[in-house]
């Protein structure tokens, strides 16, 4: 399972894929072409615990990502899947020059807590750790906007093929105030994908982003067909990632088979447990039936005193049982 997760993140870190995600989830990039977004994604230089914005990636489309470990004294450690800087095409005197993006691959849409709250926490951490790096003192206007984007696999049919954005918005509670506050510094986006078996049952029609992510990560098909489809349908040249994609597909089969085996094992355990319960229930029914026959026989035979003794003595009950029931 860990190998499969690593393979998914490996492919997800391709700049082409990240450009598609930004175009479909972040308003700053919605009107740009994929080819225009790719050069905006920066490859930071990571050294020790410090992170500095680095040079644009002029070679491979893969990024190494920002440091994925965030360790803030008193706040604990957070591990991100993929983090990177991307230049803000709408940058002006008030908007930051860069945006910090966290992309998370989530195979379980219901891990026991609300994923949105985790996304908000991650976004909050990406804001707070800018202190001392992007600004000092009270220069909060130097904060860079952050996105926490979650690609959620295996979503139920009711939410599959949906994208939801959570952000801070201004609400005038009393009186008019036209001042344009920077309230959009943190946004959480949930992109929900169906499993292959539920794809046709999904209540919502997929967007182009959903289709691309589904074909890349979920749809099972021969590797050559997948690579060709990604090129022809989405303009994604994934030839250099062919080995990674093939590895992910092979690992996904292993994860699937492990799930099947786990399901069979749990089914057997449940069946045995149910069988024992049924056996006990059947035994009680038979015992009650024989006890009823015994009482009837003793009553008809006028041996009521035997019933009284049987209620008080195990030996007497065994004697009567052997006499009348066996």
Distance CA 125, CA 26 (A): 19
Domain boundaries, the chain: 2-168+183-237, 285-324
What's the mean pLDDT in 8-33?
94
pLDDT digits (tens, 9 = 90+) for 112-156: 999 999 999 999 999 988 888 877 778 888 889 999 999 999 999
- Continuous H helices in the chain: 2-12, 15-25, 34-37, 115-128, 208-213, 223-234, 242-300, 304-312, 314-324
Report the phi/psi class of residue 191: left, alpha or beta, with left for phi > 0 and alpha for psi in -120 to 50.
beta
What's the gap between Cα 119 and its chain centre?
11
pTM for this one? 0.69
Q: What is the pLDDT of residue 207?
A: 97
Tell me the CA distances in angstroms from 173 to 176, 177, 181, 182, 185, one per residue in order. 9, 10, 15, 17, 21
Instruction: Read off the pLDDT of each residue in 227-250 and give the average, rounded to a whole number.
Output: 88
DSSP letter at 56 equals B
Radius of gyration of the chain (CA): 32
Taking residues 160-171, report their average pLDDT: 93
Task: Report pLDDT digits (tens) over 290-312.
Answer: 667 677 766 766 666 777 776 66
Sort 218 into a burial class: Cβ within 10 Å, 0-12 / 13-18 / 19+.
middle
Query: Dihedral angle at the C-alpha atoms of 173, 174, 177, 181, nearest 10 degrees?
Result: -30
Mean pLDDT of 2-25: 89
Question: Is residue 125 a contact partner of residue 83, using CB atoms and an 8 Å limit?
Answer: no
Distance (Å) of CA 94 to CA 46, 52, 147, 188:
28, 22, 18, 21
């Amino acid at each position: 399972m860990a190998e499969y997760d690593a393979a998914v993140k490996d492919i997800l870190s391709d700049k082409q894929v990240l450009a598609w995600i930004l175009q479909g989830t972040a308003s700053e990039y919605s009107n740009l072409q994929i080819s225009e977004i790719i050069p905006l994604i920066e490859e930071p230089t990571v050294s020790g615990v410090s992170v500095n914005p680095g040079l644009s990636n002029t070679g491979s489309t893969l990024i190494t990502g920002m440091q994925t470990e965030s360790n803030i004294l008193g706040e604990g450690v957070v591990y991100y899947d993929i983090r990177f800087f991307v230049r803000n095409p709408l940058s002006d005197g008030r908007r930051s020059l860069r945006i910090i993006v966290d992309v998370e691959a989530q195979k379980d849409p219901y891990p026991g807590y609300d994923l949105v709250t985790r996304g908000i926490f991650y976004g909050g951490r990406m804001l707070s750790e800018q202190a001392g790096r992007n600004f000092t003192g009270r220069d909060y206007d130097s904060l860079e906007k952050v996105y926490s984007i979650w690609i959620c696999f295996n979503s139920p049919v009711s939410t599959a093929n949906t994208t939801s954005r959570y952000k801070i918005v201004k609400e005038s509670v009393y009186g008019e105030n036209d001042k344009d506050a920077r309230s959009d510094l943190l946004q959480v986006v949930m992109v929900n994908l169906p499993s292959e078996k539920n794809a046709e049952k999904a209540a919502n029609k997929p967007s182009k982003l959903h289709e691309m992510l589904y074909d890349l990560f979920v749809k099972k098909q021969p590797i050559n067909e997948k690579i060709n489809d990604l090129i022809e349908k989405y303009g994604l040249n994934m030839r250099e990632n062919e080995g990674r994609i093939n590895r992910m597909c092979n690992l996904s089969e292993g994860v699937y088979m492990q799930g099947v085996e786990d399901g069979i094992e749990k089914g057997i355990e449940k069946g045995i447990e149910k069988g024992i319960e049924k056996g006990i229930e059947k035994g009680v029914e038979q015992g009650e039936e024989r006890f009823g026959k015994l009482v009837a026989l003793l009553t008809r035979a006028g041996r009521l005193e035997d019933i009284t003794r049987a209620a008080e003595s195990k030996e007497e009950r065994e004697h009567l049982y052997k006499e009348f029931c066996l």
